[in-house]
Chains A and B, each alone.
Chain A
Amino acid sequence: MAITIFGLLLVTFLIARVMPIDPVLAVVGDRAPADVYEKARLDLGLDKPLWTQFAIYIAKVFTGDLGTSVLTAQKVTDDIKTVFPATLELATLGTLIGAVFGVPFGIFAATHQGRWPDQVARIVGLLGYSIPVFWLGLMGLLLFYAKLGWVAGPGRLSIAYQDFVDPITGIVMLDAALQGEWDAVRDAFSHLILPASVLGILSIAYISRMTRSFLINELQQQYVIAARVKGVPEWRVVWGHALRNAVVPLVTVIALSYMHLLEGSVLTETIFAWPGLGRYITNSLLNADMNAVLGGTLVVGAVFIAVNLFSDIIGRLADPRAR
């Protein structure tokens, strides 16, 4: 585990360092005189060899110090405390939507293999894969926010509620609920639902396709034939027998999709003015803001490991052989 994270950091560090972007520019800007530039370069430790720079960084990480971001002038740990919950709530709701709609969709397609429901599911899946997310996001805003007025627009919370919710967990809906500000909870949900749905459509596509293929595989097994011969009702064959056996790989698929969303979706975050992890890392990378990039990468790595572990545990619980 530690090796995974170490490798991740090393690769990220090297990529960011070989990029033809001068990190000092983000600190002093384009206009700074030579002496100011040089001072900033030394302050960043850029005069030291690459390996020394990396060693210094790793040593600090062990003490819990991720350094300070150049762009935000805040500690990277503080930055992550604000951007990660934003991504977390988006990804969680997005995956929830993906699973709630994607799994039944996939099952339906599998049980109607080759017939029209399967074709519909195939087309929806194809669209989900191929529609560019920025287009989907903008069209969603145009329709549901601008034209119909069903949901709130870009941002996490309307201005009117901005000062009512103190950050506790960083997840706005949860914080508002903890403080009993129910109007703010609704406002936050109204802001959240559209970007989460946009991400949800992507995971519906993925999850439904995978569910379909797992289930088709199970439905061809001999125990299914045996169950049918015994006269078990078809719905029980599908939901009780076949699906039960498809749960383990399915959990892995959902976890993978969740992990993907937790890394942050840069385009969705940009369109919906959502201050999340994806935008944070990308913006930092394009400015060669090393501490922020590495800090963000560390979070992504940790999330990856945590979700993996979690899906393993679920898989064990669902699979009697593994108990």
Chain B
Amino acid sequence: MRHVAKLMAVSAFAGLMTTTAVFAQTPKDTVVMAKQIDDIITLDPAEAFEFSGVEVGANVYDKLIGVDLANGNKLIGELAESWTVSPDQLTYTFKLRPNVKFHSGNALTAADVVYSIQRAVTLNKSPGFILTQFGLNKDTVLEKVKAPDANTVVITVSQPFAPTFFLNCLTSGVAAVVDSKLVKANEKDGDWGNAWLKLNSAGSGAYKVRSYRPNEQYALDANESWYKGAPKAKRIIVRHVAEPASQRLLLEKGDVDMARNLSKDQLASVKDNKDVEIVQGDKGYILYLGLNQKNPNLAKPEVREALKWLVDYAAIEKNIVEGTYKAHESFLPNGFLGAIGDKPYKFDLAKGKELLAKAGLANGFTVTMDTRSVNPITDIAQAIQSTWGQAGVKLELIPGDGKQTLTKYRARTHDIYIGQWGPDYLDPHTNAETFAINENNGEDAKSKTLAWRNAWDIPEMTKKTQANVLESDAAKRAAVYGDIQREHQKVSPFVIMFQQVEVTAERKNIKGWVIGPSSDTNFYWTISKG
């Protein structure tokens, strides 16, 4: 026993002493990121709908249409060299770029485009509705999406939708073009290759998936023969690092080149580091409160307005979310068609009290808020609790995990929900639909939008918002969205407070990283390492 213990102690010490850390700076042509990637449940573009999974797809697959980030998110052709819209706005004809090849070496043809759309519509996973809302479904898709020749794709939609709406939807991940030959070769029990594509890639994009280990990391290799030219960084490695403080340490030591999830505190401390730079980009995510109209107090219009006056937007921005969120009070995020910058509300205690008195609640009332136990949500909720308290509104916070609060919200059993909403695709209809359409306020509703979740019955606004999706004149369409948002700000049970700003801290030798408005537009191919 004695000798064994001695031996063990000696060997442990010897081990410790020889641990001169092997300093492995990141390789020269490889860019390494630390990021929270445990939200990925699949890499299949027809299924991926989480931030990180969609971001992988954006770099691995090409789509017919893309957006020009440098030019106000203008629509540009990618795999489609050009397109035309029929005068009745029902038929779209796309001419494909010639000589594009998949990573496998297979040529990309119109048949692949048809197959990809048919696949996404038939699988009809989470993002499937982005395509099926145009009247495509598994029975009719081959009649509505056709390839008259190898370079032409013709798509027929069910209603004369605004062309911007349809084309914007084609920029999302679900419309990515997959290598039909490769996918078919990996099909199992008629699953359209879904099981295989969850972990592998079959694209033509800037990068291909080299390896992916869930909850651990993914590695991408550059596609040297990409049609836009070889990407600058030969390899991208993204490691899952859950803890922002650990991300910061890795970045400052140079063990990673980019840290993607630093919080406000960490950002403040890396600002002084000469080797680190900060890149920001407006994200489409909106931070808001949803006031359930089933609660009789919250259903009073004066109370809804009062609560909007009682949030101290400026103090929260400065003290809690500086650099990661900015003030924004309307449902369309900056950068979207029809977005407005109006901020009618600021903290005004007197006005809030006056409105509460008008509602017959001069002494306030008690209400609960389901709060995810993560920052900054908890801190923001506490700040709101404090200012509402000054007006007599007693706010009880119910802490919970994300999925737990969400389950309650979806069942409409909350009083107030604090959370984020991100657009599903790059068209204003995505947010307009969820914030301003509620077709049926009953429990049996088919479409359970955010307006529905807060039991907000709005037949008029629903009609107006639905009609706008058929407006072919983009300028007119934008103006109507402006009107709807201003009305929405006045009467809605949504206290819209902030828009997210995505922040990356990166080593000084990293150049060219641009944060797009959605995960669909976070492209790695522009990143270079000096």
Contacts and interface: CB of A to CB of B under 8 A. Distances in A.
Given A79-B214, A273-B243, A154 B22 contact: no
Interface string A221-234: 00000000000000
Contact of A96 (B12, B49, B252, B446): B12
A311 to B, nearest CB: 16
Contacts of A293: none
A261 interface: no
B246 A141 contact: yes
Of A97, A101, A154, A189, chain B has the most CB atoms within 10 Å of the CB of A154
A210 to B, nearest CB: 16
B447 A33 contact: yes
A19 B404 CA distance: 8
Residue of B41, B404, B446 ringed by the most chain A CB atoms within 10 A: B41
A101 B12 CA distance: 10
Interface string A76-116: 00010010000000000000110111011000000000000
B27 interface: yes
B199 A146 contact: no
A271 B214 contact: no
Contact of A72 (B5, B23, B215): B215
Interface in A227-285: 239, 243-244, 247, 270-273, 275, 279-280, 283
Nearest to A74: B214
B240 interface: yes
Contacts of A97: 12
Nearest to A101: B9
A187 B23 CA distance: 9
A127 interface: no
Interface stretch (A4-12, A21-29, A55-63, A297-305): A21-29
Interface stretch (B97-105, B123-131, B176-184, B360-368): B123-131
Contacts of B245: 138, 271
Contacts of A125: none
A164 to B, nearest CB: 11
Contacts of B274: none
A103 B246 CA distance: 32
A273 B49 contact: no
Given A29-B126, A100-B12, A159-B32, A74 B22 contact: no
Interface residues of B, number: 64
B187 interface: no
Specify which of B9, B215, B239, B250 lies most central, judged by the most chain A CB atoms within 10 Å of its CB. B215
Interface residues of A, number: 69
A315 interface: no
Interface in A21-51: 21-22, 25-36, 39
B41 A21 contact: no
B475 interface: no
A286 B24 contact: no
Nearest to B446: A34
A152 B20 CA distance: 9
B183 to A, nearest CB: 16
A280 B42 CA distance: 17
Contact of B19 (A161, A190, A283): A190
Contacts of B253: 145-146, 149, 153
Nearest to A289: B41
A45 B148 CA distance: 43
A101 B6 CA distance: 10
Interface in B15-32: 15-16, 18-24, 26-27, 30, 32
Contacts of A27: 41
24 contacts: A21-B404, A22-B407, A25-B403, A25-B407, A32-B125, A36-B129, A73-B42, A97-B12, A138-B246, A145-B249, A149-B23, A151-B19, A151-B21, A152-B22, A154-B241, A154-B243, A154-B249, A159-B24, A159-B26, A159-B237, A162-B237, A190-B19, A273-B239, A273-B242
Interface of A: 19-22, 25-36, 39, 70-74, 79, 82, 96-97, 99-101, 103-104, 138, 141-142, 145-146, 149-155, 158-162, 183, 186-187, 189-190, 193, 239, 243-244, 247, 270-273, 275, 279-280, 283, 286-288
Interface of B: 1-2, 5, 8-9, 12, 15-16, 18-24, 26-27, 30, 32, 34, 38, 41-42, 49-50, 124-129, 195, 198-199, 213-216, 219, 237, 239-243, 245-246, 249-250, 252-253, 255, 401-404, 406-408, 410, 424, 446-448
Q: 6 shortest A-B CB distances, which residue pairs?
A: A72-B214, A158-B24, A160-B24, A73-B198, A22-B407, A273-B241
